[in-house]
Each structure stands twice: as C-alpha cells, then as structure tokens.
Amino acid sequence: MKESIFVIFVIAMVTICFLINAPMVFGEPKMGVIVVDLQGDFTTYKNGSLAVEGTDEAFVNKVRKVTQELRAKGYPIFGTQDWHPADHISFYSNHAGKKPFEAIQIDGRTQVLWPPHCVQETENARVLVDNNLFLAIVKKGKDKKFDSYSGFQDDGGATTEMNQILQKTGIKELIVYGIATDYCVKATAIDAVAAGYKVTVIEGLSKGVAPDTTAKALEEMKAKGIIIKADLEM
C-alpha cells in the first residue's frame, strides 16, 4: 500500500514539473528560441573585428543567463553561427583597393564589404553561449560567393537546414534575439515568418549596428507581423 502511494506521488510530481516547464501544453503551439550570431567577432566583449556597440560583457552575460533560463523551462534552443572561409566575398580585404563598409555591385546585387570576421575554426567565430544548451547550431555564410544574414538562407537563395530542424522538432512559434538587430536578427526573423512561423523578437536581448538602421529594421519587422518586445518576461 505504501509503495502504491509513493508511486502515485512520484507520478504526480513529474506531471506537475512537466506542466510548469513545458513550452507546449494541451496542444498549444510549441515555441522555440533562435539565438542569432552571438559570436566573439561581433562583440566588444571579445574585441571583435566587427564588434557592435553595446555588446560588452554585461550584454553577453544577460543573453547567456536568459538563454539558460529558457532552456531550463523546457524551450528548445537553436543558434545561428557565421562560419566564413577566409576568402569570403564579403571581406573587404579580398577586394583590391576597397575599404571596410564600402558597398559594391557583384552580379547585379549590392554587397557590403566587411572586415574579416567569424572565419572558420577561429576563436572569435565561437558562439559565446554554452553550446550544450542548443539542440542545433546552424552554420551560415559557408559559401564564399554569398553573404548570409539569415539563418534560413544565404543571399544566393541556398537554404540552410534551419527550417527542416524546426519542423522536425515541432516548432510553430519562435523567440529570436542576438546580433545584429538590423542585419542577421532582422533577416532571420523575416525569413522565419515567410516560412510560416509566428515570431517575437526581443529588442533588449539584441544589439544593432546603427540607430537609424536598427529603427528601420524594427519597423520592417513589425510590418511583417513580427512582435517586438523590449524584454522577455520570464
């Protein structure tokens, strides 16, 4: 009799924990999280070659803490990671006579030239959030011929495995945050909506390259039906 009572107690406790922590309960849409490009080269914390203002140690630690808390609550965590070959087309150093942040025309498209960053197998290409928290980290920008702001596809239209992974995991809604608001966060969020996901971008967990382009990006995302929140209520 005592053993039966104990078994019932254990089952009840497990059920309660599931209901508290599970991001999908009673058929509600399952929500996942995409942490965009939180890599050394994009942060002042790591003296990155393409550091975005405001990405100091405090910001990185805030993103780490929130991501860990979300994982502890049962949310599937995914990441994107710029992963460029050294001869990538977006690096100004691969174009004679060009300077960082110049825009040039290549095959009918505008290409912004960046300082070399997130080169494959380098320390500052590493994702700064505990990699054990992620179900998957999708590498992008691997094709030297195309930039890749979005975690879903590059500028040449070649898709990553992101959508396939999300579908296999049963994700219907996404929380998106990271670096940079006006480039990779925006592109990832907009492509997620185009793929059929409901998307919320957390402004307080993201940083943009410039105030004007960041403000424009937030308006563009809102126009696509993306929810913008100042911070994430835990």
Active site residues: 37, 140, 184
> What are the backbone dihedrals phi and psi of residue 228, each rounded to the nearest 5 degrees, phi first?
-110, 125
Q: Which three-class secondary structure string do you get for the chain? A: CHHHHHHHHHHHHHHHHHHHHCCCCCCCCEEEEEEECCEHHHECCCCCCCCECCCCHHHHHHHHHHHHHHHHCCCCEEEEEECECCCCCCEHHHCCCCCCCCEEEECCEEEECECCCCECCCHHHCECCCHHHCCEEEEECCCCCCCCCCCCECCCCCECCHHHHHHHHCEEEEEEEEECHHHHHHHHHHHHHHCCCEEEEEHHHCECCCHHHHHHHHHHHHHCCCEEECCCCC
Cα 183-174-187 angle, rounded to 5 deg: 15
> What are the backbone dihedrals phi and psi of residue 174, each rounded to the nearest 5 degrees, phi first?
-135, 140
